Amino acid sequence: MNLKLSISHLIGVACIVFLTSCASETSHKKDVTPSTLSVKEIESSLQVKAMNERILTSSLSLGRDFYRDYKIGPEDLIEISVFEEEKLNKTVRVSSQGNISLPLVGILRVKGLTANELEREVRDLLAEKYFQDPHVTVFIKEYRNQRISVIGAVEKPGAYDVTGPKTVLDVLGLAGGLKEDAGQLLFLIRPPPLEEKVGRDKKEAELETPKTFVIDLEKLLMEGDLTLNLPLIHGDVINIPVSGKIFVGGEVRSPGGFPLKGKRVTVSQAISMAGGLGPKAAGSETKVFRVLEKGAERKILSADVYAIQKGQEQDLYLKENDIVIVPLSGTKAFFIELRDTVKGLVGFGIGLSAL
């Protein structure tokens, strides 16, 4: 009797241990924990916030430097002083053709000159006939109005009427900074000047073609490459497209395409966007299918979601157009899952024959 009770007791304990281990395993293979995801989401938001802070602080600190390099244009009001002769002191407005008229000097073309360059030119002209080593100063009292347009993923898109020299950072500050879904690239589109339609040589003909400058926002804002903080001119258009997408397929609850919010989305974040892992997911066998820049080469990266949860594996950052595939547990169905995911993508540009 006691022997039977002991055996029964042992069987009961064994069952409890078995059920507990199953529950532990199931718990282990659950979706990415909310605490982990919240940290990643906070990191993305903090990056956008940091970039916006750089926009505001840089535009304030760098503005004065660009006034030194400002190029005079039509409708600017210029104050010119000559120390040797007070009667030559004059305040003049630049004509629509870009000229001014000065005593002893006559008509002078000033469009495109900086204040320092105009000082030298007036000094040289006066030194030729009237004064020995004259002292000339030029001060720009009023700047013409300029219209700069900002479109795309900024807080306050629109056309801005500004005065004085402005840079990319200045105008991004006026537009309220970047939205969280802003892409990494800024496109500065510069239309040809309307005032000069002369085609005497190739250089002037090139002026009639719109120019596009591509600026890497991460290099400008996070790495501080101020060579990318270009000065702007009237008619410039700044376009910041929204970030691209990543795609999640296989054993997740809501497969599909998701924007690269904040430009730094990890594998675990992507799976969370897709509703988390399905009940039969093999999270340890997650794969990332990546098409390299040239489009001819393809790369497959491995990720273990469970190891990421435990902090044992780095949470891989995804790139635009990456495809995350979570296969079915116990199968080798990665390529089948990949094909099924690509079938649902519109405009992705990858043919099934390429897989």
Domains of the chain: 48-66+144-240 (3.10.560.10), 77-142 (3.30.1950.10), 244-344 (3.10.560.10)
Output the CA–CA distances (angstroms, integers) from residue 347 to 248, 291, 339, 350, 352, in the order listed.
Answer: 16, 14, 15, 8, 13
pLDDT in tens, 110-123: 988 888 999 999 99
Q: Binning pLDDT at 50, 70 and 90, where does residue 204 land?
A: low
Looking at the predicted structure, is the pLDDT value of residue 200 above 60? no
- pLDDT at position 17: 35
Pair type for strands 185-190 and 166-167: unpaired
- Rounded to an integer, what distance in angstroms lies between the CA atom of residue 276 and that of residue 233? 48
Q: Considering only CA atoms, which of 173, 212, 222, 218 is closest in space to residue 192? A: 212
- pLDDT at position 157: 93
Give the rounded distance of the alpha carbon of 233 from its chain centre: 21
* Average pLDDT of the residues of the chain: 76
- Rounded to an integer, what distance in angstroms lies between the CA atom of residue 122 and that of residue 136? 7
H/E element, 162: strand 158-163
Identity of the amino acid at 192: P
- Rounded to an integer, what distance in angstroms lies between the CA atom of residue 220 and that of residue 202? 33
- Rounded to an integer, what distance in angstroms lies between the CA atom of residue 44 and that of residue 125? 58
Tell me the two tokens of residue 145. Answer: 């109005």
Backbone φ and ψ of 206, nearest 5°: -65, -25
Q: The whole model's pTM is what?
A: 0.54
- With beta carbons less than 8 A apart as the criterion, state whether 98 and 109 touch: yes
State the residue for tokens 């410039």: 236
Backbone φ and ψ of 106, nearest 5°: 90, -150
Select the more confidently predicted residue: 261 or 259.
259
Supply the DSSP string of 271-295, one letter for each residue.
HHHTTSB-TTB-GGGEEEEEE-TTS
